[in-house]
Amino acid sequence: MSADRSSAPLAVRVRRGATLFVVLLLALTTAGVVDAQEAPEDLVGPTEALVDVASVSPWVEPDGEFEVRFDPSPEVPEGSSLTVTIHESIDADPGSLRDELLEILDGGSPGRILQAPITVPYAELGDPDTGALLQVPVRARTANSDRVLLPNPGVHPVELVLTGPEGPEVWRQVVFLNRLPVVADGAEDPARAHRLPVNLVMPLETGPALDPSGAADFTLEDRSRLGAGGALLRAVPEAPLLIGARPNTLDGLVAADTRWADGVLDALAEEELAGEPLLMTYSAIDTAGVLDTGARFVFDRQVFVGAGRTAESIGTVPTPEVWALDPTLSESSLPTLASIGVEVVLVDPTTLAVGDDPAARSEVMAEPFRPSPSEPIRALAFDDEISGRLTDTGADPAIRAHQATALLMANWFDGLRLDRADRRAAAVVVQPATDPETLEQLSDALLGGGPLRPGLGDALPVVPEDELPVVGFAPRDPPDQRPVVDAALSTGQQLAAWFSMTGDADPQSGLWERLNDQSLSSGLDAATRDDLHATIGTGLGQALAALELPRPRRVILTSEDTTIPLRFRNDLDVDVRLQLRARSPRLELGDDGTTEIVLVPGENRVDLPVNVRAPGETLLRLQVTSPDGELMVGSVDVPVRSTAISGVGAAISVISLGFLVVWWILTHRRRRRDTARTLSRHPTSTHEDEPELAVRSAAATPNGANESDGTGTTQPDPAPHGR
């Protein structure tokens, strides 16, 4: 970090102070290095904030300048002086440089003194009322120079002690000078060739954000956290953040429709915002628990809806490559993440199978690993130490950023020392309550072109899979998600049916879908979840009740081909698409009796075409459902009387009449034929053959006797005279 060119007089005064520092140093040493000695431990750490640090150089070139800027400090007594003590670079062998640095930050000794302390009048550093600047020129090689000799690269603790005019100490602070390695001619510069990707992740989520009515449901704590996050984004729009904005929370902000909520949404939608939203499920579900039920569709819907709601709320499509802020992952859930494009997962170290081993915890926070031997997904644990120090109110905002930067630089230096700089990385959670000044200076360190860089678009270095260690997730017994999933699926089927009726024209259906998606949140208790489903069911019932079916009035049909007028009423404000199924044994209905109808708001008349099969009384059974047949709207039986004879009935009647005519003719002819045979018998026929005829002939003879001609043959009685 270079000095402000507009402060030339101040820089002159600072260089005079630095020259005085070197003169005193050379007076105390002949080789540029004094006998090393242990620093008193009680000099480590800040005292009362009489002086506030404004910034500290994140790193220094081998022949560069280390700078510490101070905020205006009019309370500094006139005549005060600042003592500067540089210590040897922290020796991490055989442990971790990060862990050694943490010990110093927690109050441990800064180690052996490299250079003799130097005291500079505070007034020489600038006007306390406008701010002061300490500049320490450094060099890496022994030479006749006024620069301070730092022969070794690494993290050098630097003690700053402010004393009053009478000598008592009034303020002190330990900062860290990160001196970069010397680059030989033609050699590769490690500070640019192996930059450490740093993923800054800001969670911006709450519990379930919608109440059953669709109104925002935020606690005071939620509002404070979200408001702080929006203010942080507005104050530092250039911060390279991965923003974990939960889509359900964004819906709550939209529903709130208040000034503070709109401010958060506007900050997220700002065109100059450098941050990118993470891909997240719509609500905070138990990912492993849901996938263990086999309901992959439920998880996919959560991701799809979440991405859509994020894009709709803030105008940015989430990036799918990084998955973070999900403590419910398991090895079994990794194939599903890989199938949706996830390449990197950032996890809490407590979810990993590393136990309480500090070395193992440091390792998973410094280098990527594979959480499963069978999946290509890479993982990295959040550095919880850095995350905690960013919100440490016991230090100045600039000191918080500086300490976080020093820990990141320790990670990078460890990579150089172990010849693993090309595979080092870091992930840090940035809470919404982080001071804007802290985030601004940390962002400057990542964007300054030095050893640190943002992880956006390249979250982790590319390392061959077979070279990554495997660190699995800690055993976890997730709660049974089957009842939760089953309830959501059941309600979802009803909503899908309702959507097939109204499409996206009904705003209420969108709310019901969001409530159903929210019901999968692991932050809900069973009673609240049941209330959500009951609210949706009641709303659907009321909507269906607004559709009035035809009344069962008697219909009289007088012709063969006709229509039956059906009266529907739609008391909703949107068009409704329905499927009408009609059945009757005496009526023929086209298309298997199934018709799709659309009811506009108000009265509707639907003419149902019918063809009469047979006259008489019948029931026309009407069943009305959603177009997909999943949701029953209602049914009604309409009495129908037909006086018309259908074409089929007429044909049957004609055939029957023809059959009767033919039968009558045939019967009549048979009878005539039989009679004719009887009356046309031959005369030689004997009386015994036809006794009845003989009796009638005898009876016709006068006096009941037959007359004979002497031959024995009966003669017919001659007709009487006058007949």
Q: Residue 168 corresponds to which amino acid?
A: P
Q: Residue 134 corresponds to which amino acid?
A: L
CA atoms within 13 A on the CB side of 215: 5
Q: Quote the CA–CA distance of 521 and 481 in Å, as a whole number.
A: 10
| Interacting residues of 662 by C-beta distance below 8 A, sequence separation 6+ | none
Q: Which two tokens stand for residue 213?
A: 């009515």
CATH architecture type of domain 194-467: Alpha-Beta Barrel (3.20)
| 326 touches 299 (CB < 8 A) | no
Angle formed at CA 356 by CA 350 and CA 359, multiple of 5 degrees? 100
Q: Quote the CA–CA distance of 441 and 584 in Å, as a whole number.
A: 80
CA atoms within 13 A on the CB side of 646: 16
**Under the phi-then-psi rule, with left for phi > 0, alpha for psi from -120 to 50, and beta for the rest, what region is 517?**
alpha
Helix (H, G, I), strand (E, B) or coil at 426: strand
Provide the pLDDT for residue 15: 42
Provide the pLDDT for residue 287: 97
Q: Quote the CA–CA distance of 50 and 162 in Å, as a whole number.
A: 9
Provide the pLDDT for residue 585: 87
In 10 A of CB 332, how many CB atoms? 13
Burial of 541 (0-12, 13-18, 19+ CB in 10 A): exposed
DSSP 8-state symbol, 114: S
Angle between helices 247-256 and 259-269 (to 10 degrees): 130
Tell me the sheet residues that pair with 118: 84
| 376 touches 339 (CB < 8 A) | no
| 202 touches 430 (CB < 8 A) | yes
Q: Quote the CA–CA distance of 347 and 39 in Å, as a whole number.
A: 39
| 424 touches 459 (CB < 8 A) | no
* Cis amide prior to 94 (ω within 30 degrees): yes
| Interacting residues of 258 by C-beta distance below 8 A, sequence separation 6+ | none
Provide the pLDDT for residue 96: 87
CATH classification of 548-644, choosing from 1.10.10.60, 3.50.50.60, 2.60.40.10, 3.20.20.70?
2.60.40.10
pLDDT in tens, 288-302: 999 999 999 999 999
**Cα distances (Å, whole numbers) of residue 483 to 211, 333, 336:** 21, 19, 21
CA neighbor of 391 nearest in space, from 430, 419, 358: 430
Tell me the sheet residues that pair with 637: 621
Q: Which residues in the chain land under pLDDT 50?
A: 1-47, 682, 684-723
Q: Which two tokens stand for residue 446?
A: 């990542």
Q: Residue 457 corresponds to which amino acid?
A: G
| 181 touches 61 (CB < 8 A) | no
* 81-86 vs 154-163, strand pairing mode: antiparallel
| 406 touches 360 (CB < 8 A) | no
Q: What are phi and psi of 50, to 5 degrees?
A: -75, -30
Helix (H) or strand (E) holding 339: helix 334-339
Tell how far CA 517 is from the center of its chain. Answer: 10
pLDDT in tens, 221-253: 999 999 999 999 999 999 999 999 999 999 999
SS (H, E, C) 260-308: HHHHHHHHHHCCCCCCEEECCCCCCCCHHHHHHCCCHHHHHHHHHHHHH
Q: Residue 302 corresponds to which amino acid?
A: Q
- Computed on alpha carbons and rounded to an integer, the radius of gyration of the chain in Å comes to 49
Provide the pLDDT for residue 650: 57
CATH architecture type of domain 5-182: Sandwich (2.60)
In 10 A of CB 569, how many CB atoms? 14
Provide the pLDDT for residue 680: 59
For 125-138, give one letter per residue: b (16+ CB within 10 A) or e: bbebeebbbbbbbb
Helix (H, G, I), strand (E, B) or coil at 541: helix
| 15 touches 142 (CB < 8 A) | no
Q: What are phi and psi of 598, to 5 degrees?
A: -125, 125
Widest distance between CA atoms in the chain: 198
| Interacting residues of 402 by C-beta distance below 8 A, sequence separation 6+ | 53, 55, 56, 58, 175, 176, 441
User: What is the sign of the dihedral through the CA atoms of 603, 605, 606 and 612?
Assistant: positive
Q: Quote the CA–CA distance of 375 and 416 in Å, as a whole number.
A: 29
Provide the pLDDT for residue 679: 66
Provide the pLDDT for residue 691: 43
Tell me the sheet residues that pair with 133: 69
